[in-house]
Amino acid sequence: MEMTSDFSVNGKFDPSAPPPFRIADVRAAIPKHCWVKDPWRSLSYVLRDVIVVFGLAAIAIYFNSWLVWPFYWAAQGTMFWALFVLGHDCGHGSFSDLPWLNSLVGHLLHSSILVPYHGWRISHRTHHQNHGNVEKDESWVPVPEKVYNELDFTTRFMRFTVPFPLLAYPFYLWWRSPGKSGSHYDPNSDLFTPAERMDVIISTSCWSVMVALLAYLNIVVGPVPMLKIYGVPYMIFVMWLDFVTYLHHHGYDSKVPWYRGEEWNYLRGGLTTIDRDYGLFNDIHHDIGTHVVHHLFPQIPHYHLIEATKAAKPVLGEYYREPKKSGPFPFHLIGYLVRSMKQDHYVSDTGNVVFYKTDPQLYRFFGGKAD
Measured CA to CA in angstroms, residue 211 lies from 85, 249, 288 at distances of 21, 32, 27
Residue 16 lies in a domain: no
What was the pLDDT predicted at 121?
A: 96
Confidence of residue 157 (pLDDT cuts 50, 70, 90): confident
Tell me: the pLDDT tens digits for 2-12? 333 345 555 68
Report pLDDT for 11. 60
Distance CA 242, CA 160 (A): 13
pLDDT at 370 over 50: no
Nearest to 130 by CA among 143, 115, 114, 141: 141
Give the DSSP H or E segment for 269.
helix 266-270
Q: Is residue 353 part of a domain?
A: yes
Q: Is residue 10 part of a domain?
A: no
Domains contained in the chain, number:
1
Domain that holds residue 92: 26-364
Residue 176 included in any domain: yes
Average pLDDT over residues 196-225: 97
8 Å CB contact between 293 and 309: yes
In a domain, 11, yes or no: no
Task: For residue 22, count other CB atoms closer than 10 A to its CB.
Answer: 11
For residue 371, being part of any structural domain is answered with no
Mean pLDDT value across residues 177-203: 91
Question: Can you give the pLDDT at residue 10?
Answer: 57
Percentage of the chain lying above the pLDDT 90 cut: 84
Burial of 148 per CB tally in 10 Å (0-12, 13-18, 19+): buried
pLDDT of amino acid 12: 80
- What mean pLDDT comes out for the span 51-59? 98
**pLDDT range class, residue 318, cuts 50, 70, 90:** very high
* pLDDT band at residue 366 under the 50/70/90 scheme: very low
Q: Is the dihedral of CA 273, 295, 352, 155 positive or negative?
A: negative
Quick check: is 5 in a domain? no
Is residue 371 predicted with pLDDT exceeding 80?
A: no
Q: Is residue 120 part of a domain?
A: yes
Alpha carbon distances (Å) from 252 to 117, 155, 231, 246: 30, 24, 32, 11
**pLDDT at res. 368:** 43
